[in-house]
A and B are shown apart, each in its own frame.
Chain A
Amino acid sequence: MKYRPQGTSVDNQIEEIFGKAYDHKVISRLVPFLKPQKKLLFMAISAMLIFVITQSSFPYIIKIGIDNHILTKDIEGLTWVFVAFISIAFINWGSGYLQETFASRMSQGVLQNLRSKLFSHLQKLPMSFYDKTEVGRLMSRMHGDVGQLQEVGALIVATSGELLSLIGIIIFLMIMSFKLAIITLIVVPALFILLIVWQKLAKKLYIENRISHSVTINNLAETINGSKIIQILTRQKTNMQLFDTKNSHLLKTSKSATYVSSGVLPGVDFLTSIAISLVIFFGSQMIGHSLDIGVLIAFVMYVQRFFDPLRQITMSYTQFQRAMASGNRIFEIMDIKPEINESIRSKELKSIEGNIAFNNLTFSYTHNNPVLKNINLEVKSGETLAIVGHTGSGKTTLISLLSRLYNIPLESGSIEIDGINIQNVTRDSLLNQMSIVLQEPFLFSGTIMDNIKYRLTESSREEVINASKTVNAHNFISDLELGYDTRILERGSNLSTGQRQLISFARAILSNPKILILDEATANIDSTTEDLIQNALKNLVHKRTAIIIAHRLSTIRDADKIAVMDQGSLIEVGNHIELIKSNGLYKKLYDFNYDSIELANK
């Protein structure tokens, strides 16, 4: 179950609003992603230039039509102007479409690349990263933040188009009448200043609104997650009141934010009217000698268009801020050092016998607490070793190190297989010869067949069924309506825990590994499946080296060797009978766990 305290996402919101709209760090990191899209970028820019030029030219062509032909009553000339106008409209259409398509292919390409690189980078990160990072956070990066950049891609294209249009408008205005253009353009900086000042005022209110939004949503999400417990504890009324307080506050801040964002409208309209007035007043003074009617009309048309690009740019401001913040978060992850799993000297591990030796193994996750202290242990090929001990004794760490989920530093001892230090071989070649079954059987979406095969996609159906039979999974799978083609839902919720365990067993031995590592599940398994599992275990460990973190007495008792661990140290090693005789920690554990049974038997 996920908890959503007020800390996390709210901090995110704040950081994304205080961020810069143009963050040099992020942009410079994104540029390399543009490189493979060079051609598309060039074509998009070219198309955009043509589009902007044609788009800005329309009022100008109208001016020509009016001044040169309507004024002179030249219908034929006018018709030619019309033809030119339409031809340019076609070019405008084509270039506009091409620009959007190129730009879209380019930005989608960048995104696809970004997603892929992010994913592959995440694959290289050490297990310790995953231990302390919430999956939700990663999902937010991968889909939320990358999605945010997607919006911005489109926005950049639109905004740069608008900016260029603005420049185009200014150029045409100056061509038509320099003097009038200067007078009219006074308004532009005024609008700019207005927008910037407004932006500063708006920021504070926007932030409040976002925080309020987060708080309310978090509350709602938590209630959805804990709806059953709320009903059990009959807290609906109180919760409703608490929520209403937050919801009302959200309404209040939303209203304020609205007032602020629409607050810019009167100013813009006022300035537009001033600009038009300037055009009319000064235009009227200049008519006849410096300009004609067509210029006047064209000017009014252009003025109408001034403010849209500027408005678009300021609206994009917050979007850009958000996108930069997203970019930052993504690159934060890309900057985490991947784990160095092998050096050039790493060899491939050839086919092994399966003799395992732990030599003076000491290990800690953080600098202070050693989780393993000087472990010396040997397991011969074909033997089954059961590891027992309280939580925190280091059992899980031991097998994590064996499967190289974490790297063992040089000075901390070593683990050897057939005499070869596992740190000196490639991880892949090592893991190809081992199979690991975790405590919590993890199944992926897909069919049962997919799950058993997992990455061994070339296995035949027969091989899968054989593996399945060996672990007593075949029967219950065949009993299902769709058998092996049954789709697994949501991490396996349509199967019982026991059944999921059996499927993960099948997956483990499909590759016929020489070494099997098993972390026994402690969770609820019904007695019949329990029976099947206990039998399956015998087949699993047959002719393999098996290391099992054991919880079942039967597993422990049947093991060739039992290693008893406590607080990171190896206390006793031996088989069941030996250890009972020696009256040490093992006997204590044994008595402790089965104490109640003893009482019952008396």
Chain B
Amino acid sequence: MHQTIVINKIPRMNIILRLTKMATCHKWNLILAYLCMLGATTSFLITPKFIGKAVDKISSSYNEGIIPTSLIIETIIAIVLLMSIRGFLSFWQTSLGENLSHKIAYSLRNMFFNKVQTISFDFHDRWHTGELISRAISDIENVRMSINMGLMRAPYFLAMFIIVSILLINLHWLLGIISIAFMPIISLNSINVRLKMRRLLHKIQKTTAELSTISQENFSGAKVVRSFASSKYEQSKFDSKNQEIFYQTVDAEKLRAKNATFMRFAFTVSIGIVLLIGGRLVINEELTWGELTQFIIYMQILSMPVSMAAWLVNAYARAVSSGERLFEILDSKSKLKETSNTLKINKSNGHILFKDVSFGYDENNLVLKNLNLEIKTGEKIAIIGPPGSGKTTIANLIPRFYDVTGGKILLDNIDIKQINLNSLRRNIGLIQQDIFLFATTIKENISYGKEDATMEEVIQAAKTAQIHNYIQTLDKGYDTILGERGTDLSGGQRQRLGIARAVILNPSILIMDDTTSSVDTETETLINQSLESIMKNRTTLIISNRISTVQKANKIFVLEQGEIIEEGLHQELLEKNGIYKNIYNLQLKPTETQSKNTIK
């Protein structure tokens, strides 16, 4: 299932508040950073005053003909000192700010990691792994950058702007106001641009994803593309999407340029106005040279926060949208509830009872309806049925990956809801159709569920799963690393590793979900041969839709549309002439006529 739609939109303010709250957990870091920022800004903004003083001294001395060298040297020393202090404090301000954001990213990553590996299956059914990975990487990074921007840089620029405005107005109220008049104009423009920009960026994101899909399908389906000689068709698909991206990106960049250049223009004009009006004031001796100098220098200083304003707007927007996506994951709740007093089971007897069990992945469609099923200790049970009949669901319910909607499941006569989840699962070995292996050694993969396993246990499990011989043929044997650069395994070999991984736990219950249906005949044979030793002393549940797999079971249940239609031994079921017989006919019928003809 595919879901990228945000169902519950978390209010925007809320996200900013939450992120701020996370930052305040590192109280001292934040306070120190702000103190440094205050110090750095102060020394930075006092400096022009000294420069202005020097200019005044120089201009007055110009008239008198004496150069006030000692005063100038004093000024120079003050300037160097102040700016060095500023540099030092800037270093701390920036470092502390960035490090704060790194600490938050660290926490977010841990939270994300924990959520992903503990949340119940229904979450993983809804979310594509690609989407989750993208959020873990990009959204956390975006949030991190935005925290730095929002908590540190934004106040810095704001403070700078306010202080400079005050200083300027203090110097000369009229000129001061004129010099900062451009700010509201720019802000209004920016807000207007922001909305347009967001829409454009959203479009670009969408088109890029579409181009991405075209590429991916083309690469993954290289065989098909070649078999159909359709490269020209594919190229035209690609090119037209590519063209769209061009136009959309250029539009977005045009908009950004418009905004940025306008800001710069407004700012430049203000400087020009300061020159004109300030100049008049100097001529009329209402303003000193030094004061005019200060005005000019302060305005140049202002140019930085002004141009950063656009960045900030972006950062805010990104924080909100990434934060939304992040919290959507972090706030997800497990549908599975574990109560506080649960029982721990060490080694169960492997007796399973389904009592009037009903279940549906969503409320409307029940996959299982009032199911009653008993698997006695040590029995080998098979469940057969068409896809959608509910077989895999049964396999999912026993380890409590989902909770039943009606009825209950009992293990050794205890409701599994009352059993500690981990201890329940440690008693069950589940082998799925698609085996996921980790990028580590074969030994680690086999002992994944039992970290303290000895080498002997690993080898024993591998032997049981009939994969030991193959491992011996590898250069590094059990230390071979699996994956891209490591050894590639065939489907059958992965299956057998999956079996080894499950049996090493020596679970009292073994569930094999469609294990042999899509492997090559060689593997199927090997697995069938070792089934006896795999199933030894365990309650086993085999799920399949192949008669050839299920026919040796102690009992076979035929499942259809969530209900048990027939049950019994292979021969009994054939004699019943019902659904089982039908499946049998479809799968094996032609051979029956043949086998009658072959005389051994």
Q: Is the CB of B261 within 8 A of A522?
A: no
Q: Let me know if A347 is at the binding interface, CB within 8 A.
A: no
Q: Judging by beta carbons under 8 Å apart, are B430 and A93 in contact?
A: no
B574-600, CB under 8 A of A: which get 1 and which 0?
000000001100111011101100100
- Give the chain B neighbours of A222 by CB distance below 8 A: 438-439
Give B479-508 as 1s and 0s: 1 = Cβ < 8 Å from A's Cβ atoms.
Answer: 001111110001000000000010001000
A438 to B249, CA, bound (A): 39
List residues of chain A with CB within 8 A of the CB of B301.
Answer: 304
Asked, given contacts A8-B484, A293-B289, whether A280 binds B51 with beta carbons under 8 Å apart, the answer is yes
Chain A neighbourhood of B448, CB < 8 A: 229, 233, 235
| CA distance in complex: A167, B524 (Å) | 75
B117 touches A280 (CB 8 A): no
Q: Which residues of chain A are within 8 angstroms of B430 by Cβ–Cβ distance?
A: 232
Contact between B137 and A217, CB atoms less than 8 A apart: yes
Q: Which of B154-162, B190-198, B226-234, B355-363 contacts A (4 or more CB under 8 A)?
A: B226-234
Q: B268, A130: Cβ atoms under 8 Å?
A: no
Residue from A217, A236, A596 in contact with B551 in the complex, judged by beta carbons closer than 8 Å: A596
The answer, yes or no, to whether B434 is at the interface (CB within 8 Å) is: yes
Give chain A residues whose Cβ lies under 8 Å from the Cβ of B228.
Answer: 431, 436, 454-455
Give the residues in chain B near A269, CB-CB below 8 Å. 83-84, 86-87, 90
In the complex the two chains form, is A455's CB within 8 Å of B233's CB? yes
**Is A348's CB within 8 Å of the partner chain B?**
no
The yes or no answer to A582 lying at the interface (CB within 8 A) is no
**Residues from chain A with Cβ under 8 Å of B117 in the complex:** 223, 227, 230-231, 236, 239-240
B71 to A, closest residue via Cβ: A284
A601 near B595 (CB under 8 angstroms)?
Answer: yes
CA distance A581 to B481 in the complex (A): 48
Binds A, one of B163-171, B240-248, B411-419, B466-474: B240-248
A301-B219 in contact given A109-B246, A119-B238 (Cβ < 8 Å): no
Which of chain A's residues have a CB closer than 8 A to the CB of B189? Answer: none
A254 within 8 A of B: yes
A221→B138 CA distance, assembly (Å): 12
Decide if B279 touches A70 in the complex (CB within 8 Å).
yes
**Interface set, chain B 410-455, CB cutoff 8 A to A:** 422, 425-426, 428, 430, 432, 434, 436-440, 448-449, 451
Contact A73 B283 (CB under 8 A): yes
> Which of the residues B220, B261, B592 comes within 8 Å of A135, measured between beta carbons?
B220
Q: Which residue of B lies closest to A428 (CB)?
A: B229
- Tally chain A residues at the interface, Cβ within 8 Å: 151
Instruction: Please determine whether A130 and B484 come into contact, CB atoms closer than 8 angstroms.
Output: no
Q: Give 1 or 0 for each of B386-415: 1 = CB within 8 Å of chain A CB.
A: 111000000000010100000000000000
The interface residues of chain B lying within 8 Å CB-to-CB of A277 are 76, 79-80
Chain A residues near B265 (CB, 8 Å)?
89-90, 92-93
Can you spell out 29 A-B residue pairs with CB atoms less than 8 angstroms apart? A3-B438, A4-B484, A73-B283, A78-B275, A92-B264, A100-B260, A100-B261, A122-B219, A127-B226, A143-B208, A217-B137, A229-B436, A231-B118, A240-B113, A240-B117, A251-B103, A258-B98, A265-B94, A284-B69, A288-B65, A293-B55, A301-B297, A301-B300, A436-B227, A457-B233, A524-B387, A553-B590, A594-B595, A600-B570
Neighbouring B residues of A239 by C-beta, 8 Å: 113, 117
In the complex, chain B residues whose CB is within 8 Å of the CB of A112: 242-243, 245-246
Q: How far is the CA of A520 from the CA of B452 in the complex (A)?
A: 44
Of chain A, the residue at the smallest CB distance from B424 is: A234
B572 within 8 A of A: no
Alpha-carbon gap, A437 to B276, bound state (A): 80
Interface residues of B in 103-118 (CB under 8 A from A): 103, 105-106, 109-110, 112-114, 116-118
Contact across chains for A115 and B242 when beta carbons are under 8 A apart? yes
Residues of chain B with a CB closer than 8 A to A138's CB: 215, 219
Q: Are A526 and B386 in contact (CB-based, < 8 A)?
A: yes
CA distance A244 to B106 in the complex (A): 9
Q: Which of A12-20, A61-69, A362-370 contacts B (4 or more CB under 8 A)?
A: A61-69
A108-B246, A273-B79, A594-B595 as given contacts; A490 in contact with B518, CB under 8 Å: no
* B269 touching A524, Cβ below 8 Å: no
Closest to A429 in B: B229
- Cβ-based interface call for B82 (8 A): yes
